Structure 1
């Protein structure tokens, strides 16, 4: 898991290092500036933009260190007479002590036409929560339109470090030197798109940063014993499929089978039993007779128009038609349960306004799932995973818009059930399925993907 810190979480880690460990804040700034300077090509002239706060102090430290290396460096500020604060005031004195000037431009777009080499963005950092205003906006627009390569210090100016959405105008960086730990804006779209290539710059902190938000990394799957057999890898029972929607049951069965489950039984409506069986000969396909087989390890209900959830005490995955209005709390309070709604189903389940923006989705997922035993997989771009008696949220970074097609969710639901049947805890099963589902899509970029295309790639990904 990769932690994504809010501004407050990052400040707490820095404060711990300064007040408890005793490391001077200026030393943290020097480490940050040295690490960022190493990302810039040698020999090229540098233009450094410095704001009045700590981010400007980082920029001035970088400018001083670059000049001591013999590089051509100029420093500009959007403010005619910047009022440097804290460590930034110290760095301004050191820069001026080397004979450095801090210039400004009345017409930034005109002035930037003569600039060459890289621009270092040190205007605003962790303190940004509101849209940029006044003359600074003209500088941001001019830089974005200049075509110059930009290195952002910690984060591009204009981004809120604690949010996925943009407050307003923001610099589009070529590269970002992230200090100490990734922030929320480095991991979540659309803010992530403004960061360019992200390099994590180590700074001396005396503890591992803790975060309420994490980005999924490639899962590590348990090894299989040499003498394993089909009974070793679980039995998924799928209650799915009705007239006109038999394909959903087929895809759910494929999802479970392709992630390595040992046995799959599909319990479907009698009129579609034969056509499902013909498409998935590896599964046992039976007409629904009102009960779940005792040998089931996991039950998946909902794909293909099935709305009624059978009585069942074991692990349960609830998807699609079984996600009925107002029943979200019921499933989140049930241990061993995962629900897999897309945003529209999520809003219906919990009677919420439909979440459109990433920050809204995070807040709503945290509200309905925090600390509850059930697991929520809120599907979509950067799916959100919550619950499982935990307070933190996990975000899946894999996948792309070309996967937005009918049947993709049915395949994913089968994958969740398949990983749970093989022994993964429910929250880990959900996360693992989401990651591999998106990773399969990343092997086939662009529109026109079929869920069966994704299913075909899963064994190769699992072997890797």
Structure 2
């Protein structure tokens, strides 16, 4: 699986490098692209009474000219609509010359029920709102409910951000080349793409490796080599120990969810760290999860010395305030190699909000030499409390916001949502594509925090652990389907984990 994502700029560089490397020139790549799209149209829409091909003035339009020619040669009734002329001596101009179909101006575009539209207007490189004749074409196609096959990306969708620029086609199928773009996965663009077909047009893996993309589609191919598999001689403490901070007596449920998820994800031991006034409530609900009184930083220090935990979850149901800040800073000061052995802290919910007015305290602690990894899992509101300048910047995509936040915070940032973005301080980022609406339920985020902490406890690197946790969480929710509540998720993870374990053995 090719899980790298290319920005429009990186895709243009991939084209340039592939042409320089040969054997295909630019027009050769364009013909390959058109052949791939034409094959999809013929295979998926054999009963279309007519195919309308809409061509823009750039390379996307050049692909469209190839498609129109091939479909006409295959006996399809093709209508060709053109917006502007390709630049002289360009590959698109060559494609236009070879396509001898009669063409009509896009300004006169009209279609009929039962027909199909091939969108070859702008693709991923569009940087300004769709307007004029193109916007009118979108309105006509939408009103008629015609199926659309988009080349590269539906025109009107930003390949960089997934934003809708003015208006956009809603494709039934999108055919893209070499690698997907961020706009294929980021909302709202993802909903405009329909089924995405990734076509090989001759841009080799070596070209992609030379570009060295830093953005990925999240999935097992990206992190499975680092996924923890218990050794034959493993005992519970070899599999890591996770501590989960509990709230007061009326707010223990979130910690229970995180703790159970950490255990299900493979942590050999899990301890709920409870304030004294919640000990009895927690004890009444915990079985395989251990319990320890933890009211102050001194109690935490004793736990670090006595039990040598590997990871922590702080925030779910904990309460907002100084106590949360004190615990977080203390953990980030538990330097690895000084006997504590703390691999990482997952900061969620109240833990994040506790730093809304003191974010620099958190960021400085996370950036200290030898500090445990910090993983933050904010939803949109929590992200805005900690990074208000990034959150309010409409020029930044969700991907760019997460990257900027990770760099500032010296942390892995899991910017949650239907298109969750996981970003690392070093610039790596992954966009998750297997989310499901069933996960929009109270407590779901507490489970995610526990999964990530459980993987951290087993020694999985922080970025990979966060990516794996997000994917496993979403996959479990997707498979469970309607009726899902947070309590279902830890058990729903089991078949997903089993399949991952089996994959590591192949």
1:299 aligns with 2:312: yes
Please list the CA deviations of residues 172-213 of structure 1 after superposition, one character each: whole Å capped at 9, or x if unmatched: 111111022211211211101111111011111241254332
Q: Which residue of 1 aligns with 2:93?
A: 89
Taking structure 2 as the reference length, the TM-score comes to: 0.83
Kept in 2: contact 1:189–1:358 (CA 8 A): no
Query: Where does structure 2 lack aligned partners over 5 or more consecutive residues?
Result: 335-341, 500-506
The match for 2:404 among 367, 389, 399 is 367
Task: Map 1:284-323 onto structure 2 (within 5 A).
Answer: 284-288=290-294, 290-291=299-300, 292-294=303-305, 295-306=308-319, 307=324, 308-309=326-327, 311-312=330-331, 313=334, 314-315=342-343, 316-323=345-352
Of 264, 274, 282 in structure 2, the residue corresponding to residue 268 of structure 1 is 274
Secondary structure (helix, strand or coil) at the match of 2:313 reads strand
Q: Distance in 1 between matches of 2:187 and 2:446?
A: 25
Equivalent residue number for residue 386 of structure 1: 423
- Post-superposition offset of 1:432: 1.2
Cα drift, residue 259 of structure 1: 0.9
TM-score by length of 1: 0.90
* Cα distance in 2 for residues equivalent to 1:269 and 1:372: 28
Matched with 1:400 is 436
Aligned residues: 454
For 1:372 and 1:425, how far apart are their aligned partners in 2?
17
* CA spacing shift, 1:435–1:359, aligned 2, 3 Å: farther
1:81-160 mapped onto 2 (5 Å cutoff) = 82=85, 85=88, 86-96=90-100, 100-104=101-105, 108=109, 111-113=110-112, 116-160=114-158
Give the deviation of 1:15 after TM superposition: 0.8
Shift of 1:283: 0.9
SS at match of 2:36: helix
2:76 pairs, out of 68, 71, 89, with: 71
Equivalent residue, structure 1, for 2:201: 203
SS of the residue aligned with 1:265?
Answer: strand
Q: CA separation in 2, counterparts of 1:11 and 1:444?
A: 40
Aligned to 1:177: 175
Match of 1:329 in 2: 363
How far apart are the structure 2 equivalents of 1:339 and 1:371?
A: 12
Q: 1:445 to 1:258 in 2, by over 3 A?
A: same
More displaced 10-residue stretch of structure 1: 311-320 or 2-11:
311-320
- Distance in 1 (CA, whole Å) between partners of 2:365 and 2:167 is 41
How far is the alpha carbon of 1:355 from its aligned partner? 5.4
Contact 1:371 1:391 in 2 (8 A): no
Q: Tell me by how many angstroms 1:66 deviates.
A: 2.3
Say if 1:332 and 1:376, in contact at 8 Å, map to a contact too: no
Distance 1:399-1:105 versus aligned 2 partners, 3 A rule? closer
Superposition map of 1:213-252 within 5 A: 213-218=215-220, 219-220=223-224, 221-252=227-258
Residues 349 and 71 (structure 1 numbering): CA distance in 2 closer, same or farther, change over 3 Å? Answer: closer
Distance of aligned partners of 1:450 and 1:271 in 2 relative to their CA distance in 1, 3 Å threshold: same
Partners of 1:361 and 1:103 in 2: CA distance = 39
* Deviation for aligned residue 1:238: 1.8
Alpha-carbon separation, structure 2, partners of 1:320 and 1:153: 41
- Is residue 118–residue 150 contact of structure 2 (8 Å, CA) maintained in 1? yes
Deviation at 1:457, TM superposition (A): 0.5
> Which runs of structure 2 are paired with 1:409-420 in the superposition (5 Å)?
409-420=445-456
Cα displacement (A) at 1:300: 2.4
> Aligned-residue CA RMSD in angstroms?
2.5
Name the SS for the 1:48 alignment partner. strand
Larger % of helix: which?
2
Q: Which 10-residue stretch deviates more, 338-347 or 414-423?
A: 338-347
Compared CA separation, residues 106 and 121, structure 1 to 2 (3 A): closer
Following TM superposition, by how much is the alpha carbon of 1:282 offset from its aligned partner in structure 2, in angstroms? 0.7
Q: Deviations over 1:215-269 (max 9, x none)?
A: 2013523433334332231111222221321112211111111112111111101
| 8 Å contact kept, 1:235–1:264 | yes
Q: Distance in 2 between the 1:355 and 1:281 partners? A: 45
Q: Judging changes above 3 Å, is the alpha-carbon distance between structure 1 residues 73 and 178 closer, same or farther for their aligned structure 2 residues?
A: same
Alignment of 1:340-351 (within 5 A): 340-351=377-388
> Which segment drifts farther, 4-13 or 352-361?
352-361
Match of 1:457 in 2: 492
